A and B are shown apart, each in its own frame.
Chain A
Amino acid sequence: DGGITQSPKYLFRKEGQNVTLSCEQNLNHDAMYWYRQDPGQGLRLIYYSQIVNDFQKGDIAEGYSVSREKKESFPLTVTSAQKNPTAFYLCASSIRGSPLHFGNGTRLTVT
């Protein structure tokens, strides 16, 4: 079955550490996205990539970095510069003209 796999489901880190969230898709989708979800704020776009080796900042990119070396993979690094990193992170993918397909998310807690 095709889909998006985000791992791990829960992640705990100490403040000041960088952490990388994994997102893998086997849907052969060109575009991939990272969203951050906070209670009452809906989803906010962090980064997106329309094609391999290219990506653009979304609305809240500060303190995050991404890479897109393979079509299937779009890892997100939450750096120590992100002031409030505790959140639920959602990865999505799509092909042109089709709705976004979401993974099941990673809940990151930084203490």
Chain B
Amino acid sequence: AQSVTQLGSHVSVSEGALVLLRCNYSSSVPPYLFWYVQYPNQGLQLLLKYTSAATLVKGINGFEAEFKKSETSFHLTKPSAHMSDAAEYFCAVSDLNAGNMLTFGGGTRLMVKP
């Protein structure tokens, strides 16, 4: 069985500061990993995905994430936060043997202070 843990349901940063959103996963097989962003009352939009190629994955809006197998982590970072980054972020894991079935973390709400 797979699971995803996102440390911190709320994260607050100042505009221009580093954004770090944490994600740890458990999976019995090599996983696919994803980060999605959700703006209020909207669906989820894919930020980036890891599919066993390069361990450092670059996504949209300046975000990137690094897959660390030894730490079972896939943390999301952005060097400089922008007000428009305020949203909820979800980490998800997919079992390669289960098609596109995703298991989601509980989400982290990012707040950006001016």
Contacts and interface: CB of A to CB of B under 8 A. Distances in A.
Given A43-B90, A105-B41, A100 B102 contact: yes
Size band of the interface chain B makes with A: 20 to 34
Interface residues of A, number: 28
Contact of A42 (B42, B45, B46, B106): B106
A interface majority secondary structure? strand
Interface string A74-111: 00000000000000101010101111111111010000
A64 interface: no
A7 B78 CA distance: 34
B63 interface: no
A88 B43 CA distance: 10
A40 interface: yes
Given A31-B100, A98-B100, A40 B9 contact: yes
Task: From A4, A41, A107, name the one whose CB has the most chain B CB atoms within 10 angstroms.
Answer: A41
Given A6-B43, A40-B106, A43-B104, 13 more contacts: A35-B104, A40-B9, A43-B102, A92-B44, A94-B100, A96-B100, A98-B100, A100-B46, A102-B44, A104-B41, A104-B43, A105-B41, A105-B43
Give 6 closest A-B pairs by Cβ, nearest first: A102-B43, A42-B104, A43-B104, A42-B106, A102-B44, A94-B100
